[in-house]
Amino acid sequence: MLGFIIKRVLGMIPSLAAISVLAFIVIQLPPGDFVTTLVAQAAEAGDTIDDAKMAVLRQRYGVGDPILVQYFRWIGGILQGDFGYSFEWNQPVSQLVWERMGMTSLMSFITLMFIWAIALPIGIYSAVNKYSFGDYAATLFGFIGMATPNFLLAIVLMYISTIWFGNSVGGLFSPEYVKADWSLAKIWDFAKHIWIPVLVLGTAGTAALIRVMRANLLDELNKPYVEAARAKGLPEVKLILAYPVRVAINPFISTVGWVLPTLISGELIVSTVLNLPTAGPLLLQALKSQDMFLAGAFLLMIGALVLIGTLLSDILLAIIDPRIRLS
């Protein structure tokens, strides 16, 4: 088991490297280097940056260096905790990303748990009672859930709450708790706010996973081992939960590999609409204003988050599936 984990962790390294290259390419993509961007921004604000200062900045960030040197300087800095400097915020990037990424990870995790908690029982019900009214209802919900862009869902929820309750549902905390330290009261306030983004984010994923679970279980339900277990005289409910569900749950768990990326994609938009203090709005802002070190750091960390999530799901999978563990 330990060997399996070590192997998987080592296997992450090339992927991480590839993500860092990709993030670096994105940083480099906008026309002109960021010092020119900075100058343009300063000019907009009515400031000027003199040539000497520009030269200093270029020197400091090695703008003129070969691209490989720039990459390794960037990645070397990151390994030491230095993600570069955000010109828009006039702060080191590392001061900006951690809290936001923490919030994003937390929200992704809660949403994932929400999706599993909803999709698993409905998927099982749907498969066992194939073509029943409930199955059709779940299928219909599945299709609509997947067809609705989550930003639209977020706006509709905001619209409804504004019309019906007279207040908007943005944010993750009430104003008095935004700056407060963590406490029971703050957690409670958080719980009161988090369900809307979780609901919005989770709908598409839930819809997809219901279909996945239904299909997986339908495949398993007619397998000989189910029939053999039935021939032993096991009660139906126990039989289904202990055998086909147990087997069908494995591919269900491995969906983390693609559910997590879509969740994070969705998080970006939904947080922007609902104005949540997560990575999304800041990344979008950074991309729009070409604050590329900040954007690059976010891209890198988002990629890492997905990799870690996938790793955890793989480990979980190995724990529950002897075929993976023992091969």
Partner 1 sequence: MNNRKKPILQVKNLSVDFPIHKQTIKAVQDVSFDLYAGETLCVVGESGSGKSVTARAILQLIVNPGKIMQGELLFESLEGAVDIAQLDKKGKQIRKIRGNEIAMIFQEPMTSLSPVHTIGHQLVEAILLHNDISKAEAKSQAAELLRRVKIPNPEQALNSYSFEFSGGMRQRAMIAMALSCKPKVLIADEPTTALDVTTQAEILDLIAELQKDEEMAVLFITHDMGVVAQIADRVMVMYRGQKIEDGLVQQVLEQPKEAYTKALLNSVLKLETPPMHAKPDAKPKTIIDVKDLKLQFSSGGGLFKKPTLVVKAIDGVNLTINEGERLGIVGESGSGKTTLGRSLLGIYPPNEGVINYTRKTGEIIQIEKANKATLKSIYGEMRMIFQDPHSSLNPRMTIFETIAEPLRANTDMSMAQMRDRVQFLLEKVGMPSEVANRYPHAFSGGQRQRICIARAIALNPRVIIADEPTSALDVSLRHQVLDLMLNLQKEFGIAYIFISHDISVVRYFCDRVAVMEKGKIVEIGDVAQICDAPQHPYTQKLISSVPRPDLKYRKKPLLQTTMAYGDV
Partner 2 sequence: MSDSVDLDDGSELLDQQLTSDRMVVTSQWSLIWYKFRRHKLAMIGLTVTLLIYLIAATAGFLSPSVPSKFQPKFTYAPPQTIHFFKQNEMGESEYFPHVLGYKTTVNPESFKRSYVIDETQVVPIGMFVKGEKYNFLGMFASETHLFGPIDKKHPFYLIGADRLGRDLLTRTLYGARVSMSIGLVGVALSLVIGVILGGVSGFYGGIMDRVIQRVIEFIRSIPTIPLWLGLATAMPQDWPAIWVYFFILIILSLIGWTEIARVVRGRFLSLRTEDFVMAARLDGVSEMRIILRHMMPSLFSHIIAAVTLAIPNMILAESALSFLGLGLQPPIVSWGVLLQDTQNLRAITQAPWLFVPGICVVVAVLALNFLGDGLRDAADPYS
Residues that bind partner 1 (CB under 8 A): 222-225, 227-236, 242-243, 246-247, 250, 320-323, 326
* Shortest reach from residue 247's CB to partner 1, in Å: 6
By the 8 A CB rule, do 54 and 39 touch? yes
Q: How far apart are CA 145 and CA 149, in angstroms?
A: 8
Residue among 36 and 265 whose Cβ is closer to partner 2: 265
Residue of 78, 101, 306, 317 interacting with partner 2 (CB under 8 A): 306
DSSP letter (8 states) at residue 181 = P
Q: Provide the Cα torsion 74, 80, 86, 90; round to 10°.
A: -140
List, as one string, the DSSP characters of 235-297: -HHHHHHHTHHHHHHHHHHTTHHHHHHHHHHHHHHHHHHHT-SSHHHHHHHHHHTT-HHHHHH
Nearer Cβ to partner 1 (23/213): 213
Stretch that binds partner 2, among 2-10, 18-26, 81-89, 184-192 (CB under 8 A): 18-26
Report whether 324 contacts 318 (CB < 8 A). yes
Tell me how far apart the terminal alpha carbons of the chain are, to the nearest angstrom: 11
322 binds, among partner 1, partner 2, none (CB under 5 to 8 A by kind): partner 1
Report, in Å, the least distance between residue 33 CB and partner 1.
37
Rule CB under 8 A: which of 257-286 touch partner 2? 257-258, 261-262, 264-266, 268-269, 272-273, 283-284
Q: How far apart are CA 65 and CA 60, in angstroms?
A: 11
Q: What is the dihedral of CA 289, 292, 294, 296, to 10 degrees?
A: 130
Which of partner 1, partner 2, none sits in contact with 304, Cβ below 5 to 8 A by type?
Answer: none
**Does residue 240 interact with partner 2 by CB under 8 A?**
no
Nearest approach, Cβ of residue 230 and partner 2 (Å): 13
Smallest distance, Å, CB 313 to partner 2? Answer: 12
Q: Cβ(309)–Cβ(14) under 8 Å? A: no
Q: Which of 107, 307, 317, 318 binds partner 2 (CB under 8 A)?
A: 307
Angle at the Cα of 140 (from 193 to 218), degrees rounded to 5?
A: 105
Q: Which does 143 bind (CB under 5 to 8 A by kind): partner 2, partner 1, none?
A: partner 2
Residues that bind partner 2 (CB under 8 A): 15, 18-19, 22-23, 26, 29-31, 143-144, 146-149, 151-152, 155-156, 158-159, 162-163, 168, 222, 224, 257-258, 261-262, 264-266, 268-269, 272-273, 283-284, 287-288, 290, 295, 298-299, 302-303, 306-307, 310
